[in-house]
Amino acid sequence: MLEKLAGLVNDDEVLVRRGRHLTGAFLVEARPRSWLIHVLRGRIEKVEEGPFVMPSWRFALRADESDWQRFWQARPAPGEHDLLALVRRGLMKFEGDLQPLMANLLYLKGVLEAPRALATSRGAAQ
C-alpha cells in the first residue's frame, strides 16, 4: 500500500508545505510487514519495504496489518479513522523520539491517510 506514497504526498503542495520542517526517516510497521519512509523537508524521498536488519529511524508507528487496512479504507469507521484514535484504543504504538512525530503530527496524519485515495479510486472503479 505504501509503494505509491511518494507520488501521493509529493503531488500535494499543501501537505509538503505542512511538513517542510521534517527531515529524517520513520518506520511504519503493519505487522508482519514494515516500511522505512525517508522524508526531506516534507517530501517523501524514498520508501523502503523490509524486512530490515537494524533499521535506523527517529520514530516508529506500529500496528497490526489488519488495523492499518481498516485505517486505509476510503471511509474508515469511527475509532479507526485517526492515528491517535488507534493509539487510544491500544491498537497502535508510537516509539522512539516522539518530539518530531508530535511536532509534525498534522503532516504525518496527512501522509499516512494519503493511501485512502487509492481505496477511493478502487471503489469508484468497481
Segments of the chain scoring below 50 in pLDDT: 124-126
Secondary structure letter of residue 45 according to DSSP: E
The whole model's pTM is what? 0.88
* Cβ atoms of 70 and 76 closer than 8 Å: yes
Cβ-Cβ contacts under 8 Å for 109 (sequence gap 6 or more): 82, 83
C-alpha cell at 91: 491498537
Domains of the chain, each with CATH number or no CATH: 2-121 (3.30.1050.10)
Residue 121 confidence (pLDDT): 64
For residues 8 and 32, give the distance between their C-alpha atoms in angstroms, rounded to a whole number.
Answer: 24
pLDDT value for 126 = 42
